[in-house]
Chains A and B, each alone.
Chain A
Amino acid sequence: MNLLTISLRNFMNRRIRTTLTLLGVGVAISTFVALTGLTDNFKDSMRNTYKSRATDIIILEGGTVDLFSTTIDESLVNEIRKIEGVNDATMILADLYSFKFKQYTLIYGWPLDSYLFNELKVNGSMPKNPDEVIIGNMASRKLSKKIGDSINIRRKKFKVVGVFQSHSVLEEGSVIMDLKRLQDLKRIPGRVSLIFVKTSLNQKNTSQDIAVVRERIQNAFVNLEVKDISDFVGTHTPLLLVSNFTWGISIISFIIVILGIANTMMTSIFERRREIGILLAIGWQKSRIVSLILIESVFLGLIGGILGVVIGYVILNSLVATPQLEGMLSISYSSIFILRVIFIALILGIFSGIYPALRAVRIEPIEILRYE
C-alpha cells in the first residue's frame, strides 16, 4: 500500500463525485483541445498550401487583414520578376463561394500558364481555357462532381476537366479556375489577392537567402507587405484573432479546471478532517499529507486531461464534418500536442491541489480529539 492506494480508494468511495469532477475537467480540457486543434490545423493547412506550391515569398496589400480583402495590381508581377534573386512570380485571386446554403468552397483564380500548376497532381487534364476548371479531391466528394460534369459558379457554367490531389487540405477542398475569368466574375479586372514569388536556387534556399530577396522586394514596393511563408501564416490577421480568442477561451477553461478540482479536493478534505488529523497525530509529517492531497489532485487533472483529449478530438471531428468546415481542414493526431495537453492538465492538477493541501496541514489533531 502507498499514497496512491489511499487516493484511489478515496475516489472509488466517492464514485459519483469523482466521475462528475473528471467529466467537468474533461469537458473544459476538450475546449482547449478542440479550439487549439482547429487553429493549429488551419495554420498547418495554410502553411502546406504555400509550401507545396514551391513558393518562398508571399506579397499582399499593406494593411489588409485577410485573403479576401487584399487586392494588388496584377501588373506588379512583371516588375517583381525583374528583381535580382527572383526566379519566377505568379498571382492568385481567392474567393469564397457558397454552392449550397452555408456550405462554403474556396475558389482560386490562377493564370493558366502559372508555375503553380507544375506542382499539382491532376487526374484528367489541366484547364486550357477559361470555361474549364479543376477541383480538389475533397471538393469533388463534397460537391459530388467528377471529370466531365459541369459546375455553376456565380451563375456561369464551367466544365470540370480534372480532379487534383494536394498536400493542402485547403486546396483539396477548392476549385481552381482561370484568373481572368474569376476577375470578371468578381468584377475586379486587373486585381489579384496575392503574389507568389519563387526565389532563385529554389532547392537550396536558406531562410537567410530568402530574407535578402524579400528585403529587395520590400524596398522596391513600400506599400506592399512582403513576407516569407512562416511569417505570413504567423501574422495572418484572422488567424491571429482566432488564435488569441482560442487562448482566451482556453485560459477560462483552465480556471474552470482549477476551481473544479480544488472544490472537489476541499470537500474531500472537509469530509476527511478526522482521518487527516489522526494521521498527523500518529506522526505523519505535514509533507506526506501534502503529497497525498497533491497525488489526488494530479490524478484528477491527469485522467481529466486524457478524457479531455478524447472528447476534444470527438468534437474536432464533428466540427470538421460540418458543411461549413468540410474540405477546409483535416485532423492530424499529433502525439506532441496530446502530450502537451496532458502535461498542462497535470500542471493544472498540481495548482488545484496546492490550496487544499495547505488547508489540510492546518488541521490540528487536538481540535479533532477535543471536539470528538
Chain B
Amino acid sequence: MSKEPLIEVKDLHKVYKDGRVNALNGVNLEIYQGEFFCVRGPSGSGKSTLLHLIGGLDRPTSGVIQFEGEDLDSAYKNRHFRIKTFGFVFQAFYLWPTLNVEENILLPLLELSIKNKEKQKRVNELIEIVGLVKRKRANVRELSVGERQRVAIARALVSKPKVLLADEPTGSLDSSNATIILDLFRRINRQEMVTIMLVTHAILPDELWDRGIEILDGRVK
C-alpha cells in the first residue's frame, strides 16, 4: 500500500433541500492505492452521497476531495478523467436493455480512441473474468440478476479505471449471488490491482475488505 493517499476527503459537507437535510457533515477519509475500502451505514446515513461526491457525480456544499493530490474540480478539466479514473457499479445495474452482454460491456470504450481489435480483446478478457463467456451474445434482459450485476462490473472495469466505486452492489441479489459478486470484487481487487470503494448497509465478512468506515447521520462514526 502506498504512503500517499489515492483519494483524500477533507471536511466534506453536503446539504440538500435548501439547507434542511445535512447528508454529510464534515467527513474526512483517505483511500490508498490497491485498497478494498468499505463504507458501511444504515439507509439514509449519507454513504451513497459520499460515493457520488467522490465519483464527481455531484458537487459538495463545502470541503475538499483530492485525487492523487489534485482537487477533483481541477482533475475534471481532463476530458477523459472520469472514464479513466472511476468505474461505477450500482444496485440497479443500469444496463442498456436493447444491447447484448458484450455490447453493454463495450459502451464506455466508445468514448475512447482505441482500436476495435483492442476493444474486443479487453471485452473478451472481462467476459472471462466475470464468467459470462457462454452468455456473451445474450440480451441482458435474458440474464438473471446476478449475471446482470456481473455485466455491470465488467462494464465498470473495461476502461481500466483506477478506482471501482460500488454502491450497494449486492442490494438486489439473493445471498448466493451476493457471495459470488463479493468474491468477484475481491478477485478483481487482487488480480487487477483496482482500488475498490464499496458502499453497503450489509455486514460484510472481515476477510473481504482491507479498511473501512461506518457512517451515521452524515458523520464518520
Contact = CB atoms under 8 A, between A and B. Distances in A.
Interface of A: 1-3, 5-6, 9-10, 12-13, 274-275, 278-279, 281-285, 288, 365-366, 369, 372
A230 B138 CA distance: 64
A6 B107 CA distance: 10
A38 to B, nearest CB: 42
A285 to B, nearest CB: 6
A47 to B, nearest CB: 52
B96 A6 contact: yes
A283 B103 contact: no
Interface residues of B, number: 31
Report which residue of B82, B83, B98, B99 has the largest number of chain A beta carbons within 10 angstroms of its beta carbon.
B98
B180 interface: no
B103 to A, nearest CB: 5
A372 B111 contact: no
Nearest to B16: A370
A195 to B, nearest CB: 69
B96 A369 contact: no
Contacts of B107: 279, 282, 284
A288 B111 contact: yes
Contact of B57 (A6, A10, A281): A281
A275 B103 contact: no
Given A9-B99, A10-B98, A366-B52, A282 B92 contact: no
B108 A282 contact: yes
Interface of chain A, main secondary structure: helix
14 contacts: A1-B103, A6-B99, A9-B99, A12-B98, A275-B94, A279-B107, A281-B57, A283-B82, A283-B86, A284-B107, A366-B58, A369-B90, A372-B90, A372-B92
A3 B94 contact: no
Contact of A274 (B55, B91, B94, B98): B94
Contacts of B80: 283
Contacts of A283: 80, 82-84, 86, 108, 111, 159
Given A1-B110, A3-B110, A366-B52, A285 B88 contact: no
Interface string B169-185: 00000000000000000
Interface of B: 48, 52, 55, 57-58, 79-80, 82-84, 86-88, 90-92, 94, 96-99, 103, 106-108, 110-111, 155-156, 159, 167
Contacts of A366: 52, 57-58
Nearest to B161: A283
Contact of A285 (B87, B91, B94, B111): B111
A281 B88 CA distance: 8
A274 B97 CA distance: 11
A278 B110 CA distance: 14
Nearest to B81: A283
A1 B106 contact: yes
B110 A282 contact: no
Contacts of A285: 79, 111
A277 to B, nearest CB: 8
Given A283-B159, A366-B57, A2 B83 contact: no
Contacts of B86: 283
Contacts of A372: 90-92
A2 B110 contact: yes
Given A6-B96, A9-B98, A281-B88, A288 B110 contact: yes
Report which residue of A12, A13, A274 has the largest number of chain B beta carbons within 10 angstroms of its beta carbon.
A274
A9 B95 CA distance: 14
Given A282-B107, A283-B84, A283-B108, 11 more contacts: A2-B110, A6-B98, A6-B99, A13-B98, A275-B94, A283-B80, A284-B110, A365-B57, A366-B57, A372-B90, A372-B92
Nearest to B80: A283
Report which residue of A274, A283, A366, A372 has the largest number of chain B beta carbons within 10 angstroms of its beta carbon.
A283
B58 A278 contact: no
A282 B88 contact: yes
Contacts of A365: 57
